Amino acid sequence: MADPDFDAAVRSHAGDLYRYAYWLARDRQQAEDIVQEALLRGWRAFPRLRDPSALKSWLFSIVRNEFLRLVAKNGPAMQSLDDPGMEVSDERAGLFGLEMRDALMALPVAYAEPLALQVLGGFSCAEIATFCDTTEGAVMTRLTRARQALRRLIAPAEAAGRKGGES
Amino acid sequence: MNCLDYRRVLLTGDGETEAMRQHRLQCAHCAPLFREHGAMENDLRRALEVAVPEGFTERLAESLATQRPVASAQRTGRRRFLAAAAVGAGAIGLGLYAWIGRDDPMAMASIDFVIKEEAKSIMMGAMPRAEAESRLADSLPLASIERIGQIRHISPCPFGGGMAYHVVLMTPQDKVTLLIMPDSSRRSRASASHDGLYASVVPLRKGSVGVVGMSAAVVDSVVGAIQA
């Protein structure tokens, strides 16, 4: 494929790639750097892409790869993609009544990532599983737990009060 | 379908199947849940769609445009080097010329992986052996690899637009890196040489494998063992 194809793909997906990078890194500047560096690498590797229909998922995968590179470089300050690390329900139980975006911020990256890929990228559970090199079942579990956690986190304050009254 | 199944699938966000829709239309409990879920999905989408910084796409395009001449110059320089190396190689033998004269993109990418990605891949940790055995059974079984050398590391990694399995192998001669690509088929062997590393990509029963080493001899030896 020629460079104009790559340029068009970048223009078409730049916004969602940035948003995906943002929900991985949780930092606007880092998200911008990740996408920029990833696309530079992507441009170099673009001639080797054999299946044009895989372009979108390939772009998302190189952004993911760039984020992983940052994780490896910066160490434990950034969250792992593979290890959810904590039970959302227990650790975040005190955060009832959050706005959706704050609730998303409270999710571990391992839960937020498949949500971002599904909602922003439009990828199916099977595609996300391939993308993240895990099983479809694992993706479905994470998506379910993520939504359950979000429901709890954004539950209105009275729900928290009701729960407190029951105990 | 029952309510439990309906709710379980709904929460994955993978859409409502016809069977689910039929259940919802007849279920007084799941119909309001569906409406609530729809509202939450709208909120979720709005929340995930964080604002893209002003001028981001333009900055990106500009950055790519300014980097390209540099990259092109680097590639030209590399080609000049390879050409010069090929001339020199001609003096010492056609075999070495064959290595340097070729510039297969996947073999080059395998070398790039070793230079830029291998350390990170190792730092990210290895995959369980049982899983590796299962994933590679149809392309290059672990038992076959272990007849060539000792496996020091194995993990999945994004590579060449798909998924590969990165294997660090200690052979009797030297350390070798394998990039096993179960989903990337190839008809014949192709090679490259760059930055003091040698690589060949060869077809497997299913997919292909990139072999990267410090010398053409050790790569040839491993390729021969794989194809035996």
What is the spatial distance between Cα A7 and Cα B192, in angstroms, rounded to a whole number?
28
Say whether B12 and A143 touch across the interface (CB within 8 A): yes
Using the predicted structure, report yes or no on whether residue A19 has a pLDDT greater than 90.
Answer: yes
pLDDT for position B68 = 54
B205 touches chain A (CB under 8 A): no
Mean pLDDT, to the nearest integer, of B17-31? 92
Those residues whose C-beta lies under 8 Å from the C-beta of residue A8, and which sit 6 or more positions away, are none
What is the spatial distance between Cα A127 and Cα B162, in angstroms, rounded to a whole number?
12
Mean pLDDT, to the nearest integer, of A6-21? 89
What is the spatial distance between Cα A54 and Cα B162, in angstroms, rounded to a whole number?
9
Give the torsion through C-alpha atoms of B158, A42, A21, B114, to 10 deg: 40
Mean pLDDT, to the nearest integer, of A98-124? 87
Distance from CA of B219 to the nearest CA of A (A): 22
Using the predicted structure, report yes or no on whether residue B25 has a pLDDT greater than 90.
Answer: yes
Torsions phi, psi of A74, nearest 5?
-95, -10
Higher pLDDT, A47 or B99: A47
Which of A14, A47, A65 has its CB closest to that of B57? A14
Q: How many residues does chain B have?
A: 228
For residues A154 and A98, the answer to whether their CB atoms sit within 8 Å is: yes
For residues A106 and A98, the answer to whether their CB atoms sit within 8 Å is: yes
pLDDT for position A55 = 84
pLDDT for position B73 = 40
The CA–CA distances, whole Å, from B38 to A43, B32, B41 equal 38, 10, 5
Which of B12, B109, B124 has its CB closest to that of A144? B12
Percent of chain B with pLDDT over 70: 82
For residues B123 and B153, the answer to whether their CB atoms sit within 8 Å is: no
Those residues whose C-beta lies under 8 Å from the C-beta of residue B227, and which sit 6 or more positions away, are B202
Using the predicted structure, report yes or no on whether residue A162 has a pLDDT greater than 50.
Answer: no
pLDDT for position B32 = 92
B13 touches chain A (CB under 8 A): yes
Report chain B's mean pLDDT, rounded to a whole number.
81
**Which of the four pLDDT bands, split at 50, 70 and 90, describes residue B208?**
very high
What is the spatial distance between Cα B182 and Cα B106, in angstroms, rounded to a whole number?
14
Report chain A's mean pLDDT, rounded to a whole number.
76
pLDDT for position A4 = 67
Structure token pair of residue B116: 């830029």
Domains of chain A, with CATH numbers?
1-77 (1.10.1740.10), 79-167 (1.10.10.10)
B68 touches chain A (CB under 8 A): yes
Higher pLDDT, B120 or B210: B210
**Which of the four pLDDT bands, split at 50, 70 and 90, describes residue A74?**
low
Which residue, B224, B227, B222, is CA-closest to B211? B222
A80 touches chain B (CB under 8 A): no
Terminal alpha carbon distance of chain A: 63
Which residue, B23, B158, B85, is CA-closest to A81? B158
Residues 103-122 of B with CB under 8 A from A: 105-106, 109, 117, 119-120
Residues B153-184: pLDDT tens digits?
888 888 877 889 999 888 887 788 999 999 88
Answer CATH for B102-227 from 3.30.750, 1.10.3210, 3.50.50, 3.40.1000: 3.40.1000
**Which of the four pLDDT bands, split at 50, 70 and 90, describes residue A109?**
confident
**Which of the four pLDDT bands, split at 50, 70 and 90, describes residue A35?**
very high
Beta-ladder partners of B164: B157
Those residues whose C-beta lies under 8 Å from the C-beta of residue A10, and which sit 6 or more positions away, are A39, A59, B57, B60, B61, B64
**Which of the four pLDDT bands, split at 50, 70 and 90, describes residue B116?**
confident
pLDDT for position A96 = 45
Which of B48, B59, B162 has its CB closest to that of A23? B48
pLDDT for position B123 = 66
A156 touches chain B (CB under 8 A): no
Q: What is the phi-psi region of residue B38: left when phi exceeds 0, alpha when psi lies from -120 to 50, beta otherwise?
A: alpha
DSSP state letters, B159-178: ETTEEEEEEEEE-SS-EEEE
Chain A CB contacts of B208 under 8 Å are none
pLDDT for position A149 = 86
> What residue ranges do the domains of chain B occupy?
3-48, 102-227
Residues B43-83: pLDDT tens digits?
999 999 998 988 898 888 887 777 654 443 444 444 444 44
DSSP state letters, B36-57: HHHHHHHHHHHHHSPPPPTTHH
pLDDT for position A49 = 75
**ipTM of this predicted structure:** 0.82
Which of B13, B53, B158 has its CB closest to that of A32? B53
Higher pLDDT, B72 or A48: A48
